[in-house]
Structures are given as structure tokens and as C-alpha cells.
């Protein structure tokens, strides 16, 4: 059950097996040392690529973390006699902690605050390495760092260090591979595509970004410690800002967001300058030229080129296979799976006696001087389908955003299943059983259809970040379960046959339904649909109406924003009409249709014709 | 060229196919003596490394024209450390393991870079002639058996400076050093030497290399009994020191160390540099030395040859590489073979070698060849350096 974005561990094994041969075929220790440096840079670039490519955040201070690893364990070893491996562990822990502290405030914010913060931290580290000269030796560097000692053996030869470095790098790659292939990797890609949708699927995006950032800082620290104990002399200029830039360049050359990007960037950029040494004065120009050409002609890096070539060799592999038969062969979608798509929480039997499912009381929202919503109240009962209509700019989507936690309300109250939910972050509200779709599509474009829906299954899984980094039984079990559930959701929504296709390649109508399937996968009690039929043709609209019918049959209550009157009047039990942020009418479709004000401000002639 | 071909095939096959043939052109003569060099001729340290590299090229060309070393031609392999010690570490490994050089002259021309490659040459037992300042490059000798240096130590320069103060009747001085390795090391040396020399250091002040205003430090110094202010740096802040001191109307003797003997810096300081004293090797004032001076001709000769070849003037730093090559070639000529255990004693036998930096004497106890007597006091006067005290 290889998911489309899954990275095969077989290639990693093959790669590491190839690396293991290097010390035996290398003609001399110099080549081995170049290989060891390549290992360090692969570790650095892979960690940075997880952050840049998967969490969509840039660190401009990785040289600082690299330096912290080198200096903390170097100073501990040279000045206090701490063994190398202990120093390495202490450095990794300290660097990770620092990254955690930097990440908490900066990763809560969108945009590139992390880049700015890490830029500053990197420069601060560099200054500290120079200024704390009683420990670090200042700008002349720190010498006599003890070599690595493992049990009774003290590592001395390049071959031994090559082995040690590549064992650690191999582990780092393997952990990264597990993460990328796990629900964590999927969620990271998802939040890179659309953070707001990821949050709506119940993903605590800040927490995931923070963990990836810490992991990548720890990778950098480990590489730094290994460098220090291998070379035994370090000086501040190695860890300057320019090296941070070089690391970002490595990731860009290798392929941002591709698992092999770190390797494909770091290995050539380590080897190329060494190779070019033979050209004397032409070294720098040739090096520069190669970089320029790669950036010009390979916008997705070397990894992107390989992917394209592989795609040409095996054209549209995923699409050629009949996905339906694939699904059936795997025996994944059982009848019971289909019937269990809906949450037991969402049962029509849970009657109206429990009070309304969603209550919006006196809700107001102002953006500066603009009143988007004013004193609006309505309720949705269990099992009910409620439509919200009104002219553009009436505040419909704003209400959705307040209810789902994207915006805070200026005044008023939102209660869901009897509980006040304002102030809760979107992912917490999603966990309570409230899901949504988006007016302007927010599918995860870098994932396949089924993986989009699997993100919706995120909340049901329990395995954490570290657990996912290791091949433990629980993450695997949960992945199988999520796949099964996702396929069932797709089948229920009539999306059989496109499960394995890239979500971005689907026709617009199917993308809209995919969003509904993804929302259903979260197991909601109440689903907020924001213009599900906008931009669809008549056939697709009919399909959308059927889908909503199926939701109702499954016991899901629906709050629906829609401009298509035949659809909204056809499926809704009740309709709320907004105008300029105020509720002007509420009632059954028939009542609303005849309301004089509604006809005047919104329905107009159209309804008369209907 | 098996190794090179393997390198091509194993590591960057694709590039090798297009660029490979060039490599084959550089065929080596079988009996050539291989001298490797690492300089930083790109990056921040390039203003030193550039002339060092050219001096080595000049030396090799002339030596080979004159028949090489005992008939064996010199093959020179020069790599760029790009002012980065991690690059230098790989470069030195390549020189030793792949190019199999006999000796190395040039250590990336910065102390921290030199220090980074010392463990590698020590392990590989390949003699290295350093061209960088730090004393730690060659001391303790027991741990630096294979490392020698062709520059002066700050220990000698400071000692010479203290002699000069005594001679001029200066009793109280102020020290103003940068917080880099160069400045901090000189501060420690002064702390150790001043009491015995009977000099009182009235103020210890520091600044960072990037500082653009030193008035606070200088104002504090002005309030002391200091008759002379010593500034120790290689950074542009040394220009700020001169300008600020003049602006404050300080009448004290202003002194720079041997890291500031650069006409460019003097020009930047303009009138503020007039009358500045510097502790320097004889190199910048060679023309003024008496005919009897043993190295006057050596310096003028090197300067002239450099100018003839490259059409521009060399400097004292290029001279360090020139001396390093000269002493290494002499030691190779004296030694019975190119093995390190024959070369190191041969280098340690270097006696009264007339370099452009001074008279070099190495021994088994001392791998730094210059003495206090090689340092002179010079002054910047009317847009050029002139000799003040020999």
C-alpha cells in the first residue's frame, strides 16, 4: 500500500550500502575525508530540508546550531575533560532546547519570523564564539579537542571517522524517512500547502513546526560535535552567516521538500569544490557557473530533475493502474468500513432534546471600522441542515471563520454542544467535532486525493512525533486504519477511481467534493460547507446535493453557505438570511422565499421566476 | 594518474567526462620535489594571501630555471583555503594523501586556519612552514615537531617595543588592543614582559575589530599618565584609533604593532597617521638601511624581481612566503632525502639564513626563526615609512 508520496526505504538502504563501500574503494584518505565532510553536510542539509521543504520555514541560523554543537562539546572536552560522546549529547540537548525556546514565539506566527529570529541567533552565536575567549579561544579558535572514544577504542583514522559520521548520518536519514512517510510528514506537507486547512483538520500546526525545527537544530548540533572531535580544532569563522546561506543553497540545489534533496545538494556541493581544485584559478568561476546553471535550469533542484526523468521513464505510473482494482485487491474498503465512516457522535438518534448543537448568540465582528457581523444569533439543531444566504459581503464566511476559531469575535458567544468555544484554536474546535470546507479551495495540492483525506483522519491517531520517527507497530497500524478510512470516505463521496491521483490534478468539482470528504474524515458532528457548489456545472451541482443528502443520512448536521438557490432551498431545513452582517430573516425555505425583505435585498426577480 | 581517474569516476563522473582531459595535461616529472601550499587568496584574508601565492610562484619559476633543488625540479601545488579553516583542512589532506607532497609552505595565512591544519600535518609527519602570526603554531615544540614559521612572534616585537620605550625615557604606556586573537595575544605578552622591563601600563583598553568609534577608550587613556598609546590590531579600527586620537588632541606618542605596516591603512588615516610609530620588520624601510645591513640587498632584490614579474609591488607578507620557500628549499638541499625525519633536523639546522624578514635561526627547541633584533621602529612620515630606530 505504497502511498504516492511515500519515499521507499529501499533506496536509502541502497544509498547507504554504496556509501559503506567508499572507504574500501577510495584510493586515499583524502577522498575518505571528503566523504566524511559530505556526511556531515548531508545531515545538516537533511535537517534543514525537513524544516524548509516540509514545514515551509527557513532557518538562516543553522551555522549557529552547527557551531553550538561544535563549541559546546569541544569546550567541554578541551577545558573540562568531558568525553566526546557525552559532550555531543549535552550539546544536542542544549541546542535543541535553545531551538525550542526560539521556536515557541516565532512559529506561532505565520510568515517568516523564524528566518529573522534564526538569522539573529546565528550571528549571536558567532559573536559568542569569538567573545567568550576564555572558553572558546576567541577568534584564533579552540584546539586540542579530544577525539571520540567508544569504549576502549579511540577513533583516529579517517576511515573510522567516516564510518562514525555516516552511521549517525544514516540514522538521521532513516529517522527523517520514517517521519516523512508517517502522518507527521503528511501533516507537514499539508500545512506547507494550506495551514488554515491543516488546522481545520485538527492539526496543531505550531506544535509540529516547532518539533521539526528542534529536530533540525539537533541534527545540526550533532554534525557540529562530530566535526569538532574529528578535526580537533575549530574556529568561529566556520560557523559564520555565510555557512548558513550555503546550507540553504544546498537544500535549494538538491530540491526543497524532496526527501533526497539534502543528499543531492550536500554531496555535490562538498565534492565539486574539491574536484575543481585541480583547475587552480578557475576553481571559483567554474563553481559559480555550475551553481548559476543549476539554479536557472533546475528550479526544483537536482531532486526535481531526477523525479522528472523517472516520471518520463515510467509515465504516470500511479494513474495507469486501475486504482479501483488496486483498492479492491488490497481488500481495503470493506462494507463495515464504509458504514463506519460517520462518527458515532453524529447520530440522528441523538435528538433535539439535548438542546441545539450549535448556538450563535449576539455575535459581532469588527475589522477596524468595518462591521462585518452585527449582533447575529441563530442555532443549528442535531441532524439539521441550515442554509446561510445573503449577498456578497454579508458576513457569511466571517461567521464560519469565527465559529471555527480562525477569527476571534468582537462580541457575542458561540456554543458548540453546550460548550463555549470562542478563544479555542481551530484545531481544538475541530477536535470537538466541528469541521469545514473553504470558499476558496484549500486542498493540499502536493498530496494525492487519498492523502488529503488521510490528513482528515489525523485526529483519530495517537502516535506522536518521536513515535512516528521509528518503525513502531502503533504508527503502522494507525496508518493502515487511516488509509482504509480515507478510501471509505472517498468511496462514499463518489470519488472512486481518483484516489491515487494528485489532488491538484482533479477537476474543480471533484476538488470541491474532496474537501468535503476530507472534512467528513475528521468524524464531525457538524459540518460547515462554504459554497460547495460555486463554480460547478449542473451535473456537478446535482452530485453535490446528493453528497449533502448522504451526510444527512450519516447523521451529520450541516451549516451551508450557498448562492445557488435551488440547491440551498432544496436541501435546507431552515435558512438564515444575512445582509450587511445582520440577520434579516430566518425560517423554512418556503417562509424565507416569501419574506418581503429577503426578496428585496437578495432574492429579487430570480425567485419570482423559480 | 590512477588516483585522479578514480576520483573522477567515483565521485563526479559526469563532470570528469567534460573537464577531465585538462587534468591529464598537468603531468608530473618523476623525480620532482613536490611542495604544496595553502593560501587564502579569496575571502577576507585574501589581501595577505594573494602576494604570498605569487611569491611562491615566482620562487618556483626562478628555482627551476636555476636547476631546481640539487637537480630535481620543484613541482608546486597551491590550493585556496578561501579564508575558511574547514576548506583548509580538506586542502591539506589532499596535498598529503593525493598529491603526496614532500613539504608544505603556507598554512592558509591566518592563525586560526593554520592551527586547524596543524593536527593533520603532525599526524601525517609532513613538514609545514607556517606564514601566520600565532606563537601557538610552533609551541610547544614537542607537539609541533613538524611545524616551523617564517614570521616573527609578538613576543619579540613587544620586547623590541619595550626596549624602544626605555631608550626614549617613556615609563608609562597604555595598551589598546582588539579582541581578536592578534590583539589579545599581544596584550598577554605585554602583561608578562612590562614589569621586568620597568614599564608601567597605565591603562588596558579593548575594542572590537568592527568598531567605528574609540573616543570612550581614548578619553579614559587621556586621563592617565600614559606617555605612549600602543594600538594592536590588523583591522580597520586601527584607522579610527588614529583619527579619534588626533580629534581629541592627544599629544601622546601613538604606536601601532607589526600588523599595521600597510600603506593603505596609512592613506585611509590621512594626516592623522603622520608621525605614527610602528614596530615592524625591516622590510618596508629596506631602502634606508645602511649598506652594511645583511638583509638590505635580499629585500631589494626580492622586491625588484617581484615587480619585474608581476608589475606591481609586493609587501612584507609576500616576503613571508618567499622566506618560507627559501628556507624550505635550503633545508631540502641540505637533507639527505625528502623524508620528514631527515628534513626536520635539516630545517632545525637553519642558521643565519638571510631572509627578507630578517636573519632566521631555527633549532630543535625553537621553530620560530626571527629575533628581537629583526624588529625595527619605523614612522609614517610624509606619506611613506621611514626608519626611526634600528
The alpha carbon torsion through A500, A504, A510, A516 (nearest 10 deg) reads 90
CB A385 within 8 A of CB A557: yes
How does DSSP assign B241-302, residue by residue? Answer: HHHHHHHTT--SEEEE-TT---HHHHHHHGGGGTT-EEEEESGGGGGGS-TT-TTHHHHHHH
CB A57 within 8 A of CB A213: yes
Which pLDDT score is estimated for A373? Answer: 93
The pLDDT of residue B235 is 82
> Cβ of A27 and B3 within 8 Å?
yes
pLDDT at A314: 60
Give the H/E segment covering residue A246. helix A241-254
Q: Do B3 and A133 touch (CB under 8 A)?
A: no
A279 vs B12, B22, B180: nearest CB: B22
pLDDT, position A243 = 93
> Any long-range contacts for A193-197 (C-beta under 8 Å, 24+ apart)?
A193/A443, A193/A444, A193/A445, A193/A446, A193/A447, A194/A442, A194/A443, A194/A444, A195/A110, A196/A406, A196/A426, A196/A438, A196/A442, A197/A438, A197/A442, A197/A443, A197/A444
Task: Quote the CA–CA distance of B348 and B340 in Å, as a whole number.
Answer: 12
Question: How would you label A57-73 residue by residue, b for 16+ Cβ within 10 Å and e otherwise?
Answer: bbbbbbbbbbbbbbbbb
Pure H helices in A505-602: 508-521, 538-553, 565-571, 589-594, 596-598
Mean pLDDT calculated for residue range B59-70:
95
Q: For the residues B8-25, what does the mean pLDDT come to?
A: 41
Q: Are B39 and B321 in contact (CB under 8 A)?
A: yes
SS3 (DSSP) at B199: coil
Distance from CA of A120 to the nearest CA of B (A): 17
- Chain B residues in contact with A283 by the CB 8 A cut-off are 80
CA distance between the termini of chain A: 50
Say whether residue A21 is in contact with chain B using an 8 A CB cutoff: no
Q: B119 in contact with A at a CB cutoff of 8 Å?
A: yes
Q: How does residue B26 score in pLDDT terms, banded at 50, 70 and 90?
A: very low
All residues at 6 or more sequence positions from B364 whose CB lies less than 8 Å from its CB, including other chains: B141, B345, B348
How much of chain A, in percent, has pLDDT values that exceed 90? 60
Q: Are A405 and A398 in contact (CB under 8 A)?
A: no
Q: Is the confidence at residue B4, as pLDDT, over 80?
A: no
- Measured CA to CA, the distance from residue B155 to residue A510 in angstroms comes to 80
User: Taking residues A422-428, what's their average pLDDT?
Assistant: 91
- The length of chain A in residues reads 610
- Domains of chain A in start order, with CATH, are 9-312 (1.10.3470)
Question: Considering CB atoms only, which of B2, B7, B113 is closest to A31?
Answer: B7
Give the model's confidence band at A338: pLDDT under 50 very low, under 70 low, under 90 confident, else very high: low
Question: What pLDDT sits at residue A2?
Answer: 67
> Which residue ranges does chain B devote to CATH 3.40.50.2300?
31-152+300-371, 154-287+374-389
Give DSSP secondary structure letters for A463-530: --HHHHTTT-HHHHHHHHHHHHHHHHHHHHTT-TT-TTSBGGGS-HHHHHHHHHHHHHHT--SEEEEE
Three-class secondary structure of residue A48 per DSSP: helix
User: Which of A37, A131, A234 minimises the CB distance to B90?
Assistant: A37
Q: Under an 8 A CB cutoff, do A26 and B10 touch?
A: yes
Rg of chain B (C-alpha set) = 22
CB contact under 8 A, A138 and B181: yes
Test mutation, A123, A233, A276, chain B, max B CBs within 10 A: A233
Q: What is the pLDDT of residues A255-267, one digit of tens each?
A: 998 899 999 999 9
- A349, pLDDT greater than 80: no
Triad A584, A372, A358: Cα angle to 5°: 65
**Interchain contact A277–B (C-beta under 8 A):** yes
Helix axes B296-310, B46-65, angle to 10 degrees: 90
Q: What is the pLDDT of residues A33-85, one digit of tens each?
A: 999 999 999 999 999 999 998 888 899 999 999 999 999 999 999 999 999 99
CA separation, residue B230 to residues B43, B73, B197, B292, B375 (Å): 29, 46, 16, 31, 16
The pLDDT value recorded for residue A102 is 93
What residues does A367 pair with on adjacent strands? Answer: A370
| pLDDT averaged over every residue in chain B | 89
pLDDT of residue B23: 41
Q: Is the pLDDT of residue B173 over 90?
A: yes
**Mean pLDDT score, A483-504:** 91
Q: Give residues 233 to 272 of A whose Cβ lies within 8 Å of B.
A: 233-238, 268, 271-272
Cis amide prior to A377 (ω within 30 degrees): no
Q: Is beta strand A153-154 parallel, antiparallel or unpaired with respect to B128-130?
A: unpaired
pLDDT digits (tens, 9 = 90+) for A116-133: 999 999 999 999 998 888
SS3 state at A323: helix
| pLDDT the model gives residue B236 | 84
pLDDT reported for residue A300: 85
* Nearest residue, CB atoms, B98 vs list A28, A131, A283: A28
Res B106 pLDDT > 90: yes
Name which of A37-51, A71-85, A136-150, B193-207 the model is least confident about. Answer: A136-150
Residue A506 confidence (pLDDT) above 90: yes
Taking an 8 Å cut-off on Cβ atoms, the answer to whether B180 and A130 are in contact is: yes
What pLDDT does A279 receive? 84
Q: Report the pLDDT value the prediction gives residue A496, as an integer from 0 to 100.
A: 87
Choose the most confident range, by mean pLDDT, from B179-183, B208-212, B361-365. B361-365
Measured N-to-C along each axis, helices A84-108 and A113-131 cross at an angle, to the nearest 10 degrees, of: 140
Which CATH number is associated with domain B31-152+300-371?
3.40.50.2300
The predicted pLDDT at position A378 comes to 94
A604: left (phi over 0), alpha (psi -120 to 50) or beta: left
- In A, minimum Cα distance to B185 occurs at A140
The mean-pLDDT minimum among A320-334, B200-214, B255-269 falls in A320-334
How far apart are the C-alpha atoms of A42 and A177, rounded to whole Å?
14
A231 and chain B in contact, CB less than 8 A = yes
Q: pLDDT digits over A398-408, tens only? A: 999 999 999 99
* 188-227 in chain A: CB under 8 A from chain B: 227
Q: Per-residue pLDDT averaged across A19-23, rounded?
A: 95
Q: Is the pLDDT of residue A363 over 50?
A: yes
Q: Does residue A277 carry a pLDDT above 90?
A: no
B138 CB near a chain A CB, below 8 Å?
Answer: no
Residue B232, CA atoms < 13 Å, CB-side half-sphere: 24
Phi, psi (rounded to 5 degrees) for A512: -65, -40
Of A30, A236, A238, the CB nearest to B97: A30
Q: Does B165 touch chain A (CB under 8 A)?
A: no
pLDDT above 70: percentage of residues in chain A: 91
Size of interface A-B (CB pairs under 8 A): 119
Second-level CATH architecture of B154-287+374-389 = 3-Layer(aba) Sandwich (3.40)
* B86 contact residues in A (CB cutoff 8 A): 37, 227, 231, 238
Beta bridge partners of A529: A560
Q: Which pLDDT does position A281 carry in this prediction?
A: 78
pLDDT at residue number A340: 67
CB distance A141–B116 less than 8 Å? yes
**pLDDT of A517:** 94
Q: Which of A49, A98, A102, A39 is nearest to A248 (CA)?
A: A49
Pick B84's closest partner by Cβ from A25, A27, A237. Answer: A237
Mean of pLDDT values over B296-325: 95
d(CA A433, CA B152): 77
Beta carbons of B98 and A27 less than 8 Å apart:
yes
B positions 89-108 inside 8 Å of A (CB): 89-91, 93-94, 96-98
pTM: 0.85
pLDDT computed for residue A559 by the predictor? 95
In whole angstroms, give the CA distance from residue B300 to residue B320: 14
The string of pLDDT tens digits covering residues A284-319 is 888 889 888 888 888 888 988 888 888 776 654 444
**Is A140's CB within 8 Å of B79's CB?**
no
Nearest to A275 among B15, B115, B119 (CB): B15
Q: Please tell me the distance in Å from A27's CA to the nearest CA on chain B.
A: 6
Q: Please, what is the average pLDDT of chain A?
A: 88
List pLDDT tens digits, range A218-257.
Answer: 999 999 999 999 999 999 989 999 899 999 999 999 999 8
Residue B11 — very low, low, confident or very high, per pLDDT cuts 50/70/90?
Answer: very low
* Alpha helices in chain B, H assignment, sequence order: 2-11, 13-25, 46-65, 85-93, 111-124, 154-168, 181-197, 215-222, 237-247, 263-269, 296-310, 316-334, 340-348
Shortest Cα–Cα distance, A117 to chain B (Å): 23
* Strand partners of residue A154: A149
- CA angle B330/B357/A138 to nearest 5° reads 105
Name the strands in the sheet holding B33-39, side by side, starting at the edge strand that comes first in the sequence: B74-80, B33-39, B103-107, B128-130, B147-149
A203-207 own/partner pairs: CB under 8 Å, 24+ apart: A203/A427, A203/A455, A203/A458, A204/A425, A204/A427, A205/A427, A206/A107, A206/A108
- For the stretch A187-211, pLDDT in tens is 988 988 888 999 999 999 889 999 9
pLDDT tops 50 at residue A554: yes
DSSP conformational letter for B127 = -
Q: A244 to chain B nearest CA, in Å?
A: 14
Q: Check B26 against A278: CB less than 8 A apart.
A: yes
Give the whole-angstrom CA distance, residue B277 versus residue B387. 10
> Would the pLDDT of B291 be above 90?
yes
Give the CA angle between residues B369, B374, B376 to the nearest 5°: 150
Answer for the pair A367, A409: CB distance below 8 angstroms, yes or no.
Answer: no
Amino acid at each position: 500500500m505504497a502511498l504516492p508520496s511515500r519515499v521507499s526505504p529501499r533506496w536509502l538502504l541502497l544509498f547507504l550500502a554504496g556509501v559503506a563501500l567508499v572507504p574500501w574503494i577510495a584510493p586515499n584518505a583524502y577522498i575518505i575525508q571528503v566523504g566524511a565532510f559530505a556526511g556531515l553536510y548531508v545531515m545538516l542539509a537533511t535537517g534543514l530540508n525537513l524544516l524548509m521543504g516540509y514545514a515551509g520555514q527557513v532557518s538562516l541560523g543553522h551555522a549557529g546550531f552547527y557551531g553550538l554543537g561544535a563549541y559546546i562539546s569541544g569546550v567541554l572536552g578541551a577545558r573540562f575533560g568531558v568525553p566526546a560522546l557525552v559532550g555531543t549529547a549535552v550539546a544536542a540537548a542544549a541546542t535543541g532546547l535553545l531551538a525550542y525556546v526560539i521556536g515557541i514565539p516565532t512559529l506561532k506566527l505565520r510568515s517568516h519570523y523564524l528566518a529573522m529570529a534564526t538569522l539573529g541567533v546565528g550571528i549571536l552565536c558567532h559573536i559568542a564564539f569569538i567573545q567568550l575567549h576564555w572558553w572558546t579561544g576567541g577568534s584564533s579558535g579552540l584546539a586540542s579537542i579530544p577525539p571520540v572514544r567508544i569504549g576502549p577504542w579511540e577513533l583516529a583514522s579517517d576511515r573510522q571517522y567516516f564510518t562514525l559520521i555516516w552511521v549517525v548520518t544514516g540514522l538521521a536519514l532513516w529517522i527523517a524517512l520514517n517521519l516523512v512517510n508517517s502522518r507527521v510528514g503528511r501533516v507537514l506537507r499539508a500545512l506547507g500547502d494550506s495551514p488554515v486547512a491543516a488546522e481545520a483538520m485538527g492539526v496543531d500546526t505550531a506544535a509540529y513546526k516547532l518539533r521539526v525545527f528542534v529536530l533540525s537544530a539537533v541534527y545540526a548540533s550533532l554534525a557540529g560535535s562530530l566535526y569538532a572531535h574529528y578535526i580537533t580544532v575549530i574556529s568561529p569563522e566556520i560557523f559564520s552567516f555565510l555557512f548558513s546561506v550555503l546550507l540553504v543553497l544546498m537544500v535549494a540545489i538538491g530540491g526543497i521538500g524532496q526527501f533526497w534533496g539534502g543528499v543531492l545538494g550536500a554531496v555535490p556541493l562538498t565534492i565539486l569544490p574539491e574536484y575543481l581544485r585541480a583547475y587552480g584559478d578557475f576553481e571559483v568561476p567554474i563553481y559559480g557557473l555550475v551553481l548559476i546553471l543549476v539554479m536557472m535550469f533546475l528550479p526544483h533542484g537536482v531532486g526535481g530533475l531526477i523525479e522528472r526523468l523517472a516520471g518520463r521513464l515510467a509515465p504516470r505510473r500511479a494513474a495507469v493502474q486501475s486504482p479501483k482494482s488496486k483498492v479492491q485487491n488490497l481488500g481495503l474498503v470493506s462494507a463495515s468500513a464504509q458504514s463506519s465512516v460517520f462518527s458515532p457522535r453524529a447520530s440522528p438518534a441523538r435528538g433535539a432534546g439535548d438542546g441545539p448543537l450549535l448556538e450563535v448568540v449576539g455575535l459581532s465582528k469588527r475589522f477596524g471600522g468595518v462591521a462585518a457581523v452585527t449582533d447575529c444569533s441563530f442555532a443549528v439543531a442535531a441532524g439539521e441542515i441550515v442554509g446561510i444566504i445573503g449577498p456578497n459581503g454579508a458576513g457569511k464566511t466571517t461567521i464560519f471563520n469565527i465559529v471555527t476559531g480562525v477569527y476571534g469575535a468582537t462580541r457575542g458567544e458561540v456554543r458548540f454542544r453546550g460548550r463555549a468555544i470562542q478563544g479555542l484554536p481551530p484545531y481544538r474546535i475541530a477536535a470537538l467535532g466541528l469541521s469545514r470546507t473553504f470558499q476558496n479551495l484549500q486542498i493540499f495540492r502536493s498530496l494525492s486525493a487519498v492523502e488529503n483525506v488521510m490528513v482528515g483522519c489525523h485526529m483519530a491517531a495517537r502516535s506522536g512525533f518521536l513515535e512516528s520517527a521509528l518503525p513502531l507497530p502503533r504508527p503502522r497500524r494507525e496508518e493502515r486504519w487511516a488509509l482504509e478510512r480515507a478510501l471509505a470516505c472517498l468511496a462514499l463521496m463518489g470519488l472512486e477511481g481518483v484516489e491515487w491521483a494528485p489532488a491538484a490534478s482533479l477537476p474543480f468539482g471533484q476538488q470541491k467534493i474532496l474537501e468535503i470528504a476530507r472534512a467528513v474524515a475528521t468524524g464531525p458532528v457538524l459540518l460547515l460547507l462554504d459554497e460547495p457548489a460555486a463554480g460547478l456545472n449542473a451535473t456537478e451541482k446535482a452530485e453535490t446535493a446528493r453528497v449533502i443528502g448522504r451526510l444527512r443520512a450519516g447523521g451529520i448536521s450541516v451549516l451551508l453557505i450557498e448562492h445557488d438557490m435551488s440547491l440551498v432551498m432544496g436541501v435546507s431545513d431552515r435558512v438564515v438570511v444575512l445582509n450587511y452582517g445582520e440577520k434579516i430573516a430566518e425560517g423554512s425555505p418556503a417562509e424565507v422565499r416569501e419574506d418581503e425583505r429577503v426578496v428585496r435585498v437578495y432574492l429579487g426577480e430570480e425567485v419570482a421566476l423559480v | 594518474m590512477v588516483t585522479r581517474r578514480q576520483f573522477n569516476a567515483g565521485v563526479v563522473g559526469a563532470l570528469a567526462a567534460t573537464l577531465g582531459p585538462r587534468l591529464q595535461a598537468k603531468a608530473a616529472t618523476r623525480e620532482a620535489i613536490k611542495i604544496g601550499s595553502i593560501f587564502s587568496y579569496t575571502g577576507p584574508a585574501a589581501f595577505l594571501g594573494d602576494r604570498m601565492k605569487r611569491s611562491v610562484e615566482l620562487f618556483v619559476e626562478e628555482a627551476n630555471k636555476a636547476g631546481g633543488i640539487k637537480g630535481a625540479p620543484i613541482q608546486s601545488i597551491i590550493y585556496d583555503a578561501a579564508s575558511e579553516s574547514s576548506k583548509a583542512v580538506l586542502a591539506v589532506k589532499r596535498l598529503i594523501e593525493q598529491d603526496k607532497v614532500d613539504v608544505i609552505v603556507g598554512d592558509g595565512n591566518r592563525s586560526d586556519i593554520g592551527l586547524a591544519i596543524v593536527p593533520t600535518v603532525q599526524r601525517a609527519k609532513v613538514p609545514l612552514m607556517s606564514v601566520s602570526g600565532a606563537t601557538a603554531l610552533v609551541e610547544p615544540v614537542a607537539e609541533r615537531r613538524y611545524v616551523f614559521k617564517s614570521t616573527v612572534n609578538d613576543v619579540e616585537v613587544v620586547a623590541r617595543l619595550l626596549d624602544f620605550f626605555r631608550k626614549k625615557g617613556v615609563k608609562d604606556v597604555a595598551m589598546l588592543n582588539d579582541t581578536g586573537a592578534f590583539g589579545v595575544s599581544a596584550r598577554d605578552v605585554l602583561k608578562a614582559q612590562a614589569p621586568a622591563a620597568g614599564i608601567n601600563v597605565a591603562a588596558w583598553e579593548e575594542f572590537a575589530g568592527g568598531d567605528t568609534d574609540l573616543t570612550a577608550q581614548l578619553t579614559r587613556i587621556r586621563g592617565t599618565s600614559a606617555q605612549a598609546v600602543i594600538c594592536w590590531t590588523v583591522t580597520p579600527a586601527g584607522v579610527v584609533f588614529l583619527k579619534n586620537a588626533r580629534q581629541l588632541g592627544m599629544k601622546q606618542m601613538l604606536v601601532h604593532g607589526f600588523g599595521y605596516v600597510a600603506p593603505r591603512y596609512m592613506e585611509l588615516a590621512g594626516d592623522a597617521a603622520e608621525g605614527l610609530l610602528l614596530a615592524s620588520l625591516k622590510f618596508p624601510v629596506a631602502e634606508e638601511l645602511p649598506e652594511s645591513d645583511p638583509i638590505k640587498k635580499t629585500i631589494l632584490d626580492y622586491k625588484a624581481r617581484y615587480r619585474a614579474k608581476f608589475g606591481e609591488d609586493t609587501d612584507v607578507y609576500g616576503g613571508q612566503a618567499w622566506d618560507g620557500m627559501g628556507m624550505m628549499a635550503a633545508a631540502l638541499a641540505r637533507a639527505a632525502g625528502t623524508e620528514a625525519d631527515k628534513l626536520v633536523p635539516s630545517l632545525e639546522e637553519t642558521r643565519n639564513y638571510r631572509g627578507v624578514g630578517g636573519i632566521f635561526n631555527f633549532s630543535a627547541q625553537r621553530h620560530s626563526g626571527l629575533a628581537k633584533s629583526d624588529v625595527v621602529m619605523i614612522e609614517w612620515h610624509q606619506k611613506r615609512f621611514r626608519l626611526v630606530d634600528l
